[in-house]
A and B are shown apart, each in its own frame.
Chain A
């Protein structure tokens, strides 16, 4: 079974530029998550989708971050304009339904972003 795919793996941009990340979840997984992981810290949820609807985006900085999952499969996360403090690894995860406490989230390899 193929895992969660993400691209690009690495990205270097200058502050105030825009950047977009792509995620393809495990086939059949209804729930998709984007996390931000700053060096030395645990992942922090940015946004959660159930199919193509947003379940939780309370920690997404909406003035600069946006995300979509138009057809309930792939998702993109965009930052516009980027700030230095956005340097982090952006992890995408998926789970089957997201409605069971026991349900495991499977993570992609992440996109490592460096903002100069």
Chain B
């Protein structure tokens, strides 16, 4: 089976750094995705990790440890527009299988 855990809600201050954690227990692993979803909108792709380590993309970075079943999304220089839900999703071994999503972490950025 698949189980993906992330905190339900987080609050952070504009300009600060926030780390959103994701732990997973899955029967096989073929990559982890982070998506951003603003209220009432579709999820949009942020990052993909399949090997251990940190992937940096502008203000956003994503880290993966396969041995620990753990990932985090790091958001730097927070802006008000970063207020959204952040979804962690895992793909099982076969490349043709769909993503299994966590429940998402709702991030509120305050002034």
On A, residues with C-beta under 8 Å from B are 4, 31, 33, 40-45, 48, 50, 55-56, 91, 98-110, 112
Contact = CB atoms under 8 A, between A and B. Distances in A.
Contact of A42 (B30, B91, B102): B102
Contacts of B95: 98-101, 103
Interface residues of B, number: 25
Given A105-B45, A109-B42, 9 more contacts: A40-B103, A55-B96, A56-B97, A101-B95, A104-B33, A104-B45, A107-B43, A108-B42, A109-B41
Main secondary structure of the interface of B (DSSP, over half): loop
Query: Main SS of the interface on chain A?
Result: loop
Contacts of A41: 103-104
A106 B31 contact: no
28 contacts: A40-B104, A41-B103, A42-B87, A42-B101, A42-B103, A43-B43, A43-B87, A43-B99, A44-B101, A48-B98, A50-B96, A56-B97, A91-B42, A91-B43, A99-B96, A100-B95, A101-B30, A101-B50, A101-B95, A102-B31, A104-B33, A105-B98, A105-B99, A106-B45, A107-B42, A107-B44, A110-B41, A112-B40
